[in-house]
Amino acid sequence: MNRYLNAYDELASFLNKEEILLDEPMKNHTWFEIGGTADILVIPQSVEKLIKVIHYVRKNNIPTFLIGNGSNLLVKDGGIRGIVIKTEMINRISVEGEIITAECGALLEDISGIAYEHGLSGFEFACGIPGTLGGAVFMNAGAYDGEMSFVLDSVRVMTPDLKVLTLKRDELELGYRTSAVKTNGYVVLDAKIVLEAGSKEEIKAKVDDLTHRREDRQPLEFPSAGSTFKRPTGHYAGKLIQDAGLKGYQIGGAQVSEKHSGFVINKDHAEAKDVLDLISYIQSTVMDKFHVELCTEVLIVGEDKQDII
């Protein structure tokens, strides 16, 4: 029995019915294609509606989890209690001079495409990161020697006490896969990105090169959450895993990619437990062989099946 049926009715007073999904399988909303049900999944279609939802859940003390497009997420088999808010429909992007303003659900690849169309350079690194702006700010996403801290001007956030603030770059505490948004529990509403005027031909050439490198090296043909582990100091996670003899190692439907050992993939209808067991085995094996701790980069949330009452 879903304990949040009343919440569904109250949310319907200011959201459209298609913005509220009851008992929704999270496997339909993560790139891993894994995960049990969320009691309620809300997909607001504007920043204003997002703010209303956050006010509602805070006022009613309802457990809440925010996602973008689920590209860096593993939801456990028992699902998520309370309300999951998905921001993918809040995705407007505008350009003024060398500044791009984008809402939290805008895809990085779409921002990269618009930057190219306007001859703006500096965002090429993000062309292949399969996430939203909000998630990218949250974890200071980066790739190929670029990261969000290089291009952010300011971010508008909602704080846990429901204030809306604009934080400048030096107030965001941007570090390796972390930010003040993450540590303080802020919700990203939108952000301003500052780029430089450049040659469209050079921008396209760089995007094409990075796209080719990504397609050539990453197992994009299988569901995954991208790089499974953070880069340990002085090492590369993928090389450690490969040197430990784990390339292709499989537990249930989860496998260490044979193309890139830094990726755990959903090879054959994996459950979250398969992935978690494989992650644990990788971590213990690498620690035993090389005395290096591997920390997960993929965000793991939700409940195990046996936790459900």
Q: What residues are labeled active site?
A: 177, 227, 297
Helix (H, G, I), strand (E, B) or coil at 248: coil
Q: Which of 267, 264, 260 is nearest to 279 (CA)?
A: 264
The secondary structure of 54-91 as a DSSP string is HHHHHHTT--EEEESSSTTEEE-TT-EEEEEEE-TT--
**Residue type for 77, please?**
D
CA 9-25-5 angle, 5° bins: 20
How many angstroms separate the first and last alpha carbons of the chain?
Answer: 10
Q: Which of 117, 127, 112, 118 is nearest to 98 (CA)?
A: 118
CA dihedral angle for residue 135, residue 141, residue 147, residue 150, rounded to 10 degrees: 30
